[in-house]
Amino acid sequence: MLKIDCHTHILPRKLPNWTEKYGYGDFIYLQHHKRGYAKMMRGNQFFREIRENSWNPELRIREYEKFNTSVQVVCTVPVMFSYWAKPYDCLDISRFLNDHIAELIQGHPQNYLGLGTIPMQDSELAVMELERCKSVGLSGVQIGSNINDLNLNEERFFPIFEACAKLGMAVLVHPWNMMGQQQIQRYWLPWLVAMPAETTRAICCMIFGGIFERLPELRVNFAHAGGSFLPTIGRIAKGFECRPDLVAIDNAVDPRKYLGKFWVDSVTHDTFMLEYVLRLQGSKRVTLGSDYPFPLGDLEIGKFIENMNLDQEVKADIFYRSALEWLNVDIERFKE
Contact residues: Zn ion, CB under 5 A: 291
Whole-number minimum distance, CB 309 to Zn ion, in Å?
28
Q: In the sheet that 37-42 helps form, which strands lie side by side, from edge to edge? A: 28-34, 37-42, 45-51
Report d(CA 57, CA 298) in Å as an integer.
19
Could you tell me the smallest distance in angstroms from the CB atom of residue 195 to Zn ion?
9
Question: Which CB sits closer to Zn ion, 64 or 208?
Answer: 64
CB of 234 to Zn ion, least distance (A): 27
Shortest approach of Zn ion to residue 9 CB, angstroms?
Answer: 6
- Cβ nearer to Zn ion, comparing 73 with 310: 73
Residues 6+ apart with CB under 8 A from 124: none
How crowded is the C-beta side of 65, counted as CA atoms within 13 Å? Answer: 6
Residue number, 115 or 127, with CB nearest to Zn ion: 115
Q: In the complex with Zn ion, which residue's Cβ is closer, 119 or 289?
A: 289
How far CA 231 is from CA of 88, 99, 197, in Å, comes to: 39, 37, 11
Q: Which is nearer to Zn ion, 176 or 208 (CB)?
A: 176
Query: Rounded to whole angstroms, how far apart are CA atoms 6 and 140?
Result: 11
Q: How far is the CB of 142 from Zn ion (least distance, A)?
A: 9
In the complex with Zn ion, the residue whose CB is nearer, 291 or 298, is: 291
Min. distance of Cβ 176 from Zn ion in angstroms? Answer: 9
Q: 303-322 burial, b if ≥16 CB within 10 A, otherwise e?
A: eebeeeebeeebbbbbbbbb
Residue 287 phi/psi, 5-degree rounding, is -110, 150
**Minimum CB distance to Zn ion, residue 302 (Å):** 15
Print burial letters for 1-24: b (CB count within 10 Å at least 16), e (below 16): ebbbbbbbbbbbeebeebbeebee
Strand (E) positions, the chain?
4-9, 28-34, 37-42, 45-51, 71-75, 112-116, 140-144, 170-174, 220-222, 263-265, 286-287
Q: Is 190 within 8 Å of 181 (Cβ atoms)?
A: yes
In the complex with Zn ion, which residue's Cβ is closer, 129 or 291? Answer: 291
